[in-house]
Structure 1
Amino acid sequence: MTINTTNTVADIGYGKQFEGWYDRMFPGDAATRLTVDALAACHPDPAWGTLEFGVGTGRIALPLSHRVGPVTGVDSSQEMLAVLEKKSGDGSVTTELGDIRTYRDSRRYGLVYCVCSTLSLILDPCGQQDAITRAAELLRPGGRLLVETHNRRGVEALHQGLTRTTVFVPFPEPDAGLQMHATLLGENRIWQVSTILFEPDGTHRIGTETARLLTPDEVDGYARNAGLRPEGHHSDWRRNDYVPTAGVFIASYTKPTVEPA
């Protein structure tokens, strides 16, 4: 692990909460392969390099590195990065302990991506803007930024007008799955989700996360402020058109090849 002492690291404790069972919540399944395929296809030039904001345990970065070459991954959680380092024995992913709001690097990349609603875990708009600004700074001209995050209108549709709702996602194994208890707060801007993992042996784990929900227009505003050009929005990694009821949205941005005067 590379500890970048020039960057301030403010860890919200996400990795500590989900240590030991994050990969059970987000397995390397068909959805992961679809994400990796789309990121590889959207890369302007793999030789320019690849950077992930919120790399976690490497669910995306590791398989992507086998497609586009080495990936640099930034995360504020030492627990997450420790798991990633055990997986990445060949050095295909370089880990950086850092805060995506303040992270800086001497290199410029062809693709920067921030997926799995990492941006929503920053709970204030100024911090979210800072993260997009850092991503823009780290792109080389002609590079691309891809953001996948919770869709505010889609989450509201999931709640069906209720402040609180419960969702159960079964696993293939008998008597296993995820039960999520969700609450909308702050005029539906803040979404708090407590997740219970039920295992087949009768054990369970509990973790809670809080997100600031976003709309595509809001992320577009962050990107424009950072000097990026919006390319479009999609509802999934198959690049289907954005629909308001989708649970997430994917937004794509490019850095102009000529800097504004």
Structure 2
Amino acid sequence: MTSDGDSTGDGGTSTTTAADTVVQTCKLLVLPAEIRNSIYELVFESPKRPLTNLLTATPPSSALLNVCMQLREATGLFASTQNRYLCGTTFYCTPYKSSMPLLPSTPSLLMTDNLLSRVRHLRFYVVGSWLRNLREPRVSSAAERMLQPCPAGIMFGFERSPTGKWLCVAMAGKESQPGRAHLTLRVDAERQTIVVGRYKKALVSKQLEHSEEFKAITVVELEVLLGRKLC
């Protein structure tokens, strides 16, 4: 005599119930498209900060897109959000732990040439002693005179221009004054050196404009500036 419930036969196999074969439907996909898009925007959006450390930055994550194939519908929205984050965020980096956070031991999620090429606002902060100790043989005499009085502990802020040069736009917490000569840095990636120069710009404090000819920032350029491997 057999019972009415599930049973296990002599072979040790159990009976498969109908519930075991039910495919779970992603509840997110049941929601109206407008609500789904609002959720995607909240998930992809990164927090807004006046300055973001490039080496610890957390750009929008694409993890949600890997949940299931149907969620790939948000791919376009993710790409748009990521591009807005990279182009619109003002990042900074520095090799000095005394004034800024320590360099991370693991590379940032942004440390790829593909993502860095879309960054448009990046500042590099160093103290005067760093500038004076570059020991770059090609420093111009004019730039040398500017470097001599640089106080060792004063913080300098360089902003990367569309041409690839780093323009000194801040010193000791104050923005550089228009119409004066200021220091420049240029990274020679091939020779792994930093060239110091100077420039005179009528509006040095004016926000650097976006440009389709923007010379892309690279991992190698940052490695020369920071004096360490990032990847």
Please confirm whether the aligned pair reaches a TM-score higher than 0.5, indicating the same fold. no
| Greater strand content | 1
Q: Under a length normalisation based on structure 1, what TM-score does the superposition of the two structures give?
A: 0.22
Q: Which has the higher contact order (CA 8 A, sep 6+)?
A: 1
Normalising by structure 2, we get a TM-score of 0.24
